[in-house]
Structure 1
């Protein structure tokens, strides 16, 4: 049965999408079959995996509204064994359209249940807000992975996210666990990055991944080419870091 990891943080610009794309691709590199679900109306994971957002007949929007099956919403990316349920701007209206629908917190989970056994990992990229799309991701997921940018306000909003995770655990998905925290955009030249890491370690009672993702120009360039970092520049520091993160994620599953 596939392990489902939601990548969530209501702050934007912390590396959620970068982590969703590159963790997925590096898990495939490790021989895993992966489905990535883009739950962000911006659709950056979709375009970052080389899928043209404007050409799509079915997306996660149609899936959420019951207009297509989960298998019809999936596309095969250019990377063998990496599949995607894409997103585009239409998803922004889903929140309103789901009003009044029974069990709307479980729409995604009920669909994913059909195909969970087909994959080793299902990675869900959440939008940068704590809305119904994020709640659907959390009711579907086994664990939540939280990227934290190494910057001064890193902990701001994190308590709100953890409160939401706890609420979902209590009311909607009792088996949900915290996968852990991964630090992103680490700059070894600044004392601030080091201070943020130490601050989070001392304030958060949760698993912290050993792998730290550096601030890396090749990581920033890769999405504009529609490629994950391991294919865009496999020897870059960003690629090496995401490979290490993928190995850690696999090891955690085996523990």
Structure 2
């Protein structure tokens, strides 16, 4: 599958509950507010959490007369064939059509992948310019990347997912001579200097040195995200009572600061763009990718 002209950001992790979809929608909305043209693809045809977030955003904005930016969004309906090979073929064709429709038309393409290994997820990883792997700050999540020594945190063996990313990087290098900037994002970091925290830190350092990826601090455990999902809003939207359905709190402000720090750590090379309102008008639609 050929690369697009857009900068492709892939959210990948073979574990659910790590914050992929929440990070995906926040990145999309932030880039829209900065004036960029943004398309998004939910490649998880089973859960479709990313798609639910986008729909909640559109519904809440329409119901309350809010003017907020929306990405051009594609979701892949779950295939129903009795043949696994046929399902994979249909999903790939839908995905290919979605990418082809926005190729050369947007500045950023953000792809949220399922929390398990699929052929489509591997293709999405191979397209990435930036690969973001969110991880809760625990040894359970660390095991998604590698087996580490329980006493020192040193790397013993890379996981299936880490090897998958390594293969995707090699394939990408062979195709266009470029690599994938892989960023491990630590979410829910404990403020306590616990043994778990130290082992996770040591493990991430060993993994990053072994595979050549970067580590960035992510988002703390905040109740605010549970209240933002049902209305589809993000911490980058105006924090007022009309937008949120209630008064903003310090949790809103703290979360927005953390996400801005994460955006900076991703090194996306953001530059001043066209006015925000114009960007919003051009990207306000959702599409179901349909196989030919």
Per the alignment, residue 36 of structure 1 pairs with 40
Instruction: Give the equivalent residue in structure 2 for 1:184.
Output: 187
Q: Which runs of 5+ in 2 are unaligned?
A: 59-66, 146-158, 238-243, 272-292
Of 112-121 and 231-240, more deviation after overlay is shown by: 231-240
CA distance in 2, matches of 1:128, 1:137: 13
**Residue in structure 2 matching 1:219, options 225, 228, 232:** 225
Q: CA deviation at 1:139?
A: 3.4
Task: Structure 1: state its 5+ residue gaps.
Answer: 54-77
Cα shift at 1:37: 0.8
Say yes or no: does 1:147 pair with 2:116.
no
- What is residue 261 of structure 2 aligned with on the other side? 244
Distance 1:181 1:101 in 2: 30
Mapped partners of 2:162, 2:259: distance in 1: 24
Equivalent in the alignment of 1:168: 168
TM-score normalised by structure 2 residue count? 0.66
Change in 2 beyond 3 A, CA 1:184/1:160: same
One of 218, 228, 231 as aligned partner of 2:234: 228
Answer yes or no: is the 8 Å Cα contact 1:112–1:140 preserved in 2.
no
Give the Cα separation in 2 of the matches to 1:25 and 1:129.
26
CA deviation after TM superposition for structure 1 residue 226, in Å: 1.9
> Secondary structure of the residue that 2:236 maps to in structure 1?
helix
Q: 1:107 to 1:85 in 2, by over 3 A?
A: closer
Distance 2:204 2:169 in 1: 22
Q: Equivalent residue of 1:181, what SS?
A: strand
RMSD of the TM alignment (CA)? 3.3
Map of 2:208 onto structure 1: 204
Larger-Rg structure: 2
Task: Give the Cα–Cα distance (whole angstroms) in 2 for the partners of residues 171 and 93 of structure 1.
Answer: 31
State the shift of 1:251 in Å: 4.2
Instruction: Return the TM-score normalized by structure 1.
Output: 0.74
2:230 is paired with a residue of what secondary structure?
A: helix
5 Å-filtered alignment, 1:14-33, equals 14-33=18-37
Q: 1:101 to 1:134 in 2, by over 3 A?
A: closer
- How many residues matched? 228
